[in-house]
Amino acid sequence: MNTEAQWYFPLNDETLQCRLCPHNCILKEGKSGICRVRFNQEGKLLTQVYGFVSAINFDPIEKKPLYHFYPGSTILSIGTYGCNLRCFFCQNCGISQTAAEPELPRSNYTPDQIIQMALKRPGNIGIAFTYNEPVIWYEYMYDIARLAKKAGLKTVMVTNGFVNKEPLEALLEYIDAFSVDLKAFNEEFYAKVTSSQLEPVKQTLKQISLAGKHLEVVNLVIPGLNDNETAFSAMAKWIATELGRETVLHISRYFPNYKLTTEATPVSSIRNLKRLAEKELSYVYTGNMHTESSDTHCIKCNNILITRHSYAVSAVGLDAEGKCKVCGNFFLKKT
Ligand code: SF4
Ligand code: SF4
């Protein structure tokens, strides 16, 4: 069912502007925004995706990826259709690069039904907004997140970070943890490969960090497009300076998908970039690299805190308060 959206302003009788994300689409009567799921009908901005769920699963939290937020837990994960970006390499293009056509496979859930499902599953910590870009179903995410807080559930947003400051500010109160893509440290890449911009994503990262929310950053390395060592090192340095040296960085190996046929990232390249990132950051993990260790070591005494074998996770070196069992260094922040 189409529902009135938030974050829009009329420009005249026929035209309005959506100010949810930095595209700030100006929409004439009957037209949809770049995300394909928000449209102008008789001077009102409507969303087509309120309660329109394309995928719903109980996932390991490590799959988001979040490695330092309730490690080893399960989280109810939901997504819809559409996206405000056009990444050539999108791994979820089947749901992200389409409009929310009525004939597409979907389930409809009210926010309360999502909450009840999350509460019923033993061991489930909360709800993750993921799979496609959750910003574009802002109203539904916001309503669920508010109810989730009242119910004592955790909330997670897996996002490209391309959102305007005011809507993000309103949401921050209700989201506990963020996994944010920093796709490259290069405006040209963002413009050509994703049809968006880097600067707003940097602002989003700083805003989340300043709000004291749990934040992990993901960089997918694509050969020839964003694997330049100088730019990569500058990105790691920026994360350390602006977000903190202990911000988690996931460096993921790319595989061909959607419009990009470039061969998969060489393993040696990921290993090399990991070494560079570790000069700036305390916690750097590789993704889509099943041969590599993704254990977490204590930054003070090097004791193994958490072991990970695929999604089998064990906090072997942590006490009940989230401190290193050997040196007592505080590791896990409870939210
Ligand atoms: S959310 Fe959609 S309609 Fe709104 S500005 Fe972004 S792309 Fe445009
Ligand atoms: S932001 Fe994510 S979901 Fe959207 S097109 Fe890019 S990779 Fe796909």
**Listed range (47-56, 68-77, 87-96, 102-111) with the worst mean pLDDT:** 102-111
Report which protein residue has its CA nearest ligand 2's atom 6. Answer: 87
Q: Could you give the dihedral angle defined by the CA atoms of residues 315, 319, 324 and 325, in that order, rounded to the nearest 10 degrees?
A: -110
pLDDT confidence bin for 103, thresholds 50/70/90: confident
Mean pLDDT in the chain?
96
pLDDT at 309 over 80: yes
pLDDT confidence bin for 320, thresholds 50/70/90: very high
pLDDT at 333 over 80: no
pLDDT at 335: 63
- To test the pocket of ligand 1, the residue of 4, 8, 18, 41 to mutate (highest count of ligand atoms within 8 Å of its CB) is 18
Could you identify the atom of ligand 2 that is nearest to the CA of residue 97?
A: 5
| Cα-to-centroid distance, 131 and ligand 1 (Å) | 18
pLDDT at 132: 97
Per the rule left: phi > 0, alpha: psi between -120 and 50, beta: everything else, 244 is: left
- According to DSSP, residue 240 is labeled I
Phi, psi angles (nearest 5°) of residue 57: -150, 155
Per-residue pLDDT averaged across 77-95, rounded?
96
Who lines ligand 2 at CB under 6 A?
Answer: 83, 85-87, 90, 92, 96, 132-133, 160, 194
d(CA 276, CA 102): 47
Per-residue pLDDT averaged across 205-229, rounded?
98
pLDDT at 100: 82
- To test the pocket of ligand 2, the residue of 92, 182, 189 to mutate (highest count of ligand atoms within 8 Å of its CB) is 92
Which CA distances in Å does 188 have to 194, 198, 200?
A: 10, 9, 14
pLDDT at 60 over 80: yes
Per-residue pLDDT averaged across 131-159, rounded?
98
Ligand nearest to C-alpha 89: 2
Ordered by where they begin, the domains of the chain are: 3-47 (no CATH), 52-292 (3.20.20.70), 295-335 (no CATH)
d(CA 307, CA 295): 5
d(CA 100, CA 38): 10
Question: How confident is the model over 160-183, as pLDDT tens digits?
Answer: 999 999 999 999 999 999 999 999
Does the beta carbon of 38 sit less than 6 angstroms from any atom of ligand 1? yes
pLDDT at 334: 60
Per-residue pLDDT averaged across 219-225, rounded?
98
Per-residue pLDDT averaged across 86-115, rounded?
92
pLDDT at 180: 98
Which run of H or of E encompasses 272? helix 267-278
Partners of residue 180 on adjacent β-strands: 159, 217
Could you identify the atom of ligand 2 that is nearest to the CA of residue 162?
A: 1
pLDDT at 306 over 90: yes
